[in-house]
């Protein structure tokens, strides 16, 4: 059982029991996940540091498996990638998130929507930009409110393709955020070559704040660099009050993490938005 904000508990079935049986079952079931309408988008608020208000949300997919309950994307995204289900899955998430964003905008809640694009989809889907444009048109959304999150690995694996595709996407008017920034790559020079609006500093750095003394120095350097390059900064994975206190010195624009809220289903997100969003 995991704590999920006020009075909300969800059961996560432990992977250890009947692990291989479960694995076989989900390998089979992944193919019908969309037809059976078993996917759900959860939303996690992103908070403006200065005001403490919600300025955007990140769409995070969940699988409501009829037998195993809620399955985390860490468990099925790799499977979806291996089977090719990732393409319709990501399109479903994008469309669902954009439709919801349109509803919020019509209610006067002018927040941003961040959607994750997996490496597979980024590199293998030739008409990715066309798909995104289709969805934006269909939902009649102002493209600048859509933030495409890509990982650092995407940006680095094949710089030429990454540059071409990112510029294609940027021409639609959407924003691009670099997710999990700072995990594993030492070259920062690519940052100047890619059309990126935001970097999301990886949870690993935030975790260590207050325990490892070098982390503060690295974080300070990353924030300075991002500011110099005119990039917006999101600090990810803020979990505790003490972390928040320490992080306030780094002058990031935005924060995201369990401290503010876990990813929550639509109903709860609606309730939260009525209380606190950037007007
Ligand atoms: P991510 O894009 O880095 O998403 C953030 C993950 O960190 C989410 O896990 C979120 O629940 C978790 N998180 C947020 N705040 C905190 C915190 O304070 N502490 C801790 N410990 N964790 C926090 P989630 O939802 O399980 O998603 C895992 C990953 O699965 C995502 O990592 C993303 O790479 C992928 N994913 C999720 N939804 C989608 C999707 O629709 N499409 C694709 N392609 N990938 C997705
Ligand atoms: Ca993300
Ligand atoms: Ca992340």
The pLDDT tens digits of the residues spanning 23-37 come to 888 889 999 999 999
Place of tokens 């961040």: 114
* Among protein residues, the one whose CA lies closest to atom 8 of ligand 1: 60
Cα 28 to middle of ligand 1, angstroms: 24
Which has the closest alpha carbon to 238: 275, 202, 277? 202
Cα 180 to middle of ligand 3, angstroms: 4
**Residue 123: CB within 6 Å of ligand 1?**
no
CA 161 and chain centroid, separation: 22
**Residue 152: CB within 6 Å of ligand 1?**
no
Which has the closest alpha carbon to 76: 126, 37, 26? 26
CA–CA gap between residue 129 and residue 168 (Å, rounded): 7
List, in sequence order, every beta strand (DSSP E) within the chain: 2-3, 9-10, 39-48, 54-65, 69-71, 112-116, 146-151, 175-181, 198-201, 232-235, 254-255
In the three-class reduction of DSSP (H, G, I as helix; E, B as strand; rest coil), residue 34 is classed as coil
pLDDT at residue 279, rounded to an integer = 56
pLDDT at residue 117, rounded to an integer = 93
Ligand number nearest CA of 72 is 1
pLDDT at residue 1, rounded to an integer = 40
Cα 99 to middle of ligand 1, angstroms: 21
CA–CA gap between residue 231 and residue 127 (Å, rounded): 27
Looking from the CA of residue 200, the nearest atom of ligand 1 is: 3
91-95: long-range contacts (C-beta < 8 A, 24 or more apart)? 91/131, 91/135, 92/34, 92/39, 93/39, 93/41, 93/59, 93/61, 94/131, 94/132, 94/135, 95/135, 95/138, 95/139
User: Of 63, 70, 77, which is best to mutate to test ligand 1, by the most ligand atoms within 8 angstroms of its C-beta?
Assistant: 77
Which residues fall within 8 angstroms of residue 68, CB to CB, at 6 or more apart? 13, 22, 25, 26
Per-residue pLDDT tens digits for 16-72: 556 778 888 888 999 999 999 999 999 999 999 999 999 999 999 999 999 999 999
User: Of 12, 33, 88, 116, which is best to mutate to test ligand 1, by the most ligand atoms within 8 angstroms of its C-beta?
Assistant: 116
For residue 51, give Cα distances in angstroms to 130, 189, 218.
36, 32, 25
Cβ-contact 46, 39 below 8 angstroms: no
CA atoms within 13 A on the CB side of 255: 26
pLDDT at residue 5, rounded to an integer = 53
Collect the ranges in the chain with pLDDT lower than 50: 1-3
pTM of the model: 0.91
**Residue 243: CB within 6 Å of ligand 1?**
no
Cα 27 to middle of ligand 3, angstroms: 25
**Residue 118: CB within 6 Å of ligand 1?**
yes
Cβ-contact 140, 105 below 8 angstroms: no
């Amino acid at each position: 059982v995991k704590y999920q904000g006020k009075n909300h508990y969800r059961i996560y079935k432990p992977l250890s029991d009947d692990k291989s049986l479960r694995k076989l079952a989900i390998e089979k079931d992944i193919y019908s996940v969309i037809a059976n309408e078993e996917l759900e988008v959860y939303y996690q608020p992103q908070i403006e540091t200065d005001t403490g208000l919600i300025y955007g949300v990140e769409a995070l997919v969940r699988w409501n498996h009829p037998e195993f309950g809620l399955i985390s994307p860490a468990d099925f995204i790799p499977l979806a990638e291996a089977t090719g289900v990732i393409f319709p899955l990501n399109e479903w998430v994008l469309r669902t998130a954009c439709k919801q964003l349109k509803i919020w905008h019509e209610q006067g809640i002018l927040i941003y929507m961040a959607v994750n694009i997996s490496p597979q989809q980024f590199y293998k889907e030739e008409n990715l930009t066309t798909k995104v444009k289709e969805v934006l048109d269909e939902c009649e959304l102002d493209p600048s409110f859509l933030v495409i999150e890509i990982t650092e690995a995407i940006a680095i694996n094949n710089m030429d393709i990454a540059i071409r595709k990112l510029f294609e996407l940027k021409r639609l008017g959407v924003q691009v955020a670099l997710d999990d920034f700072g995990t594993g790559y030492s070259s920062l020079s690519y940052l100047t070559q890619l059309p990126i609006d935001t970097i999301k500093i990886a949870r690993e750095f935030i975790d260590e704040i207050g325990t490892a003394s070098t982390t503060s120095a690295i974080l300070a350097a990353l924030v300075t660099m991002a500011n110099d390059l005119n990039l917006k900064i999101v600090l990810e994975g803020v979990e505790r009050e003490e972390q928040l206190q320490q992080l306030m010195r780094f002058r990031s624009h935005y924060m995201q993490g369990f401290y503010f809220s876990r990813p929550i289903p639509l109903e709860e997100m609606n309730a939260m938005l009525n209380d606190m969003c950037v007007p």
